Chain A
Amino acid sequence: MSQAAISVRNIRKAFGQQTVLNDVSLEIPAGETFALLGRNGAGKTTLIRILLGLLEPDVGSVSVAGLDPQSKPIELRRRVGYLAEDQVMYEWMTPVELCRFLAPFYPTWDHKLADDYLDRFEIPRHARIGRLSKGQRVKLGLTVALAHRPQVAILDDPALGLDPIARKEFNRDLVEHIQAARGTVLYSSHLLDEVEAVADSVAILDSGRIVRFAATDVLRAEVKQIILDYNAAADLPLPAGLLDVRRSGSRLLAVVDGAEKFIDQLVVSGVEHEVVELNLHEIFEAFVIGRPQEWPQHGARVVLAQK
């Protein structure tokens, strides 16, 4: 119903011979918290830089907060809060000076909110930024990314460099300030346990492609591990949506996307099985390094059917 806060259509981006993003599409409704998951080098930062207009896609279109990042870069920055992976800030300024310096660029800058963040994150107000610790700099980056109450916050691995307590504080702020105010958040992260509690939806980016994009709870409901007898599995056709297969003695452990269908199939053919729920970490792993080709095969018949 509501307009998408972030919309990416069929984007492709290559650096020389190397394709970094390949036919990437995303639609994030306003008010949602969205997490971009992927290993290092999967293309997360490139996608984020395209969303901000810092890079131009070779093919495809982008809209963020209703604007095209390429044609409306200034207006876009007013509506979007951005924290880069390795945010560079003027090292000779103090945090208070930095806030005063940035405020005039943003019509919606909230001095009180900026002040609250400095307090909560325990950032020394009058120390030179060059002297701050890594964690303190990340927190300062978050402060200035959120102080103008952006419609859309785009955060490239914000939890990187935060200690566990600060991470929890950060997640709280996300929930309390941004989600409760119906703001939209796109962030990348490697901390899947935390993503699961906070994100409405997630996308798994692998080698420049989005391999899965779903609501967090839907993903957990649809991807499950099924344990069955190894020999019984050999008599079955390759299940649709098979992500990973492991053998453990006489048992076969299969991770399947769209598990319900496979379970129904097992029930119909009377194959005994056990269903195991997976956490987001295990699901991510199955998508990114799963080995579905290990499914057992009886004779050449099945091999022919597969290839």
Chain B
Amino acid sequence: MFIRIERGSSSPVSRQIAEQIRAQCLSGALRPGESLPSVRQLARELAVNVNTVFRVYEQMAADKFIEMRHGDGTYVLPRAAPRENSRQMAAQREQYELEFNAIVHRGMLLGLQLPEFRRLLAAAVAAERRGTGEASPLRATKSRAVPSSDNTP
């Protein structure tokens, strides 16, 4: 497994490691059943905090990319499970988009303009967040990082 950390990047070290392992699992560069270096080994190799690597492994295990077998080691899991999930997710999103378009269409028939749509949407999202707390998938999409700019235009 090859991982390259960019120090000083606007993407946190933990995310860099997680994304690279995930990409290698999905591309097949890491095969199911293959073993990963131990938390300590990887921490040493990358010169990265042991706890950071441990948390990444834990998260990847929770996402079913890898399995941490106690006292044995860490192994890549077969990809069937996550793939299935993402296909279901895509289908659900498609359905949602259809419903969303229908709602917009009705609004336009009522004469609503873009600013009004925006306000409604913002208010609905805010209300939803207050109600359902942290784990809304919309939130994750919205606050996605844009490249940091030291030399801002």
Interface, chain A (partner B; CB < 8 A): 33, 168, 171-172, 175-176, 179-180, 192-194, 196-200, 216-217, 220, 225, 246, 248-249, 253, 263-264, 267-270, 274-282
Contacts and interface: CB of A to CB of B under 8 A. Distances in A.
Interface stretch (B27-35, B62-70, B95-103, B145-153): B145-153
Nearest to A172: B47
Contact of B123 (A246, A253, A268): A268
Contacts of A267: 122, 125-126
Contacts of A249: 153
Contacts of B8: 192-193, 196, 279-281
Interface of B: 5, 7-14, 40, 43-44, 46-52, 115, 118-119, 122-123, 125-126, 129, 143-150, 152-153
A93 B148 CA distance: 50
A175 B10 contact: no
Nearest to B116: A270
A277 B48 contact: no
B9 to A, nearest CB: 6
Given A264-B129, A267-B122, A279 B47 contact: no
Nearest to A170: B47
A225 B50 CA distance: 28
A220 B8 CA distance: 12
A220 to B, nearest CB: 5
Contacts of B12: 196, 217, 220, 277
A198 B48 contact: yes
Contact of B122 (A216, A217, A270): A270
Contacts of B147: 276
14 contacts: A172-B47, A176-B44, A179-B50, A180-B40, A194-B7, A200-B51, A216-B49, A217-B52, A275-B144, A275-B146, A276-B145, A277-B12, A277-B145, A280-B8
Contact of A278 (B49, B148, B152): B148
B143 A248 contact: no
B122 A197 contact: no
Given A175-B50, A179-B49, A197-B7, A270 B145 contact: no
A268 B145 CA distance: 20
Contacts of A274: 146
| Chain A binding surface SS class | helix
Contacts of B9: 279
A281 to B, nearest CB: 6
Contacts of B43: 175-176, 179-180
A253 B150 CA distance: 12
A263 B143 contact: yes
Contact of A198 (B14, B47, B123, B126): B47
A192 B106 CA distance: 53
Contacts of B52: 197, 217
B60 to A, nearest CB: 16
Nearest to B121: A270
Contacts of B13: 196-197
A170 B27 CA distance: 34
Contacts of A275: 143-146
Given A264-B126, A276-B148, A198 B49 contact: yes
Contact of B11 (A253, A263, A277, A282): A277
B148 A282 contact: yes
A181 to B, nearest CB: 10
A176 B43 CA distance: 8
A139 B150 CA distance: 34
Contact of B44 (A33, A172, A196): A172
Nearest to A32: B51
B146 A276 contact: yes
A179 B46 CA distance: 14
A199 B148 contact: no
A193 B7 contact: yes
A37 to B, nearest CB: 14
A228 to B, nearest CB: 13
A199 B12 CA distance: 13
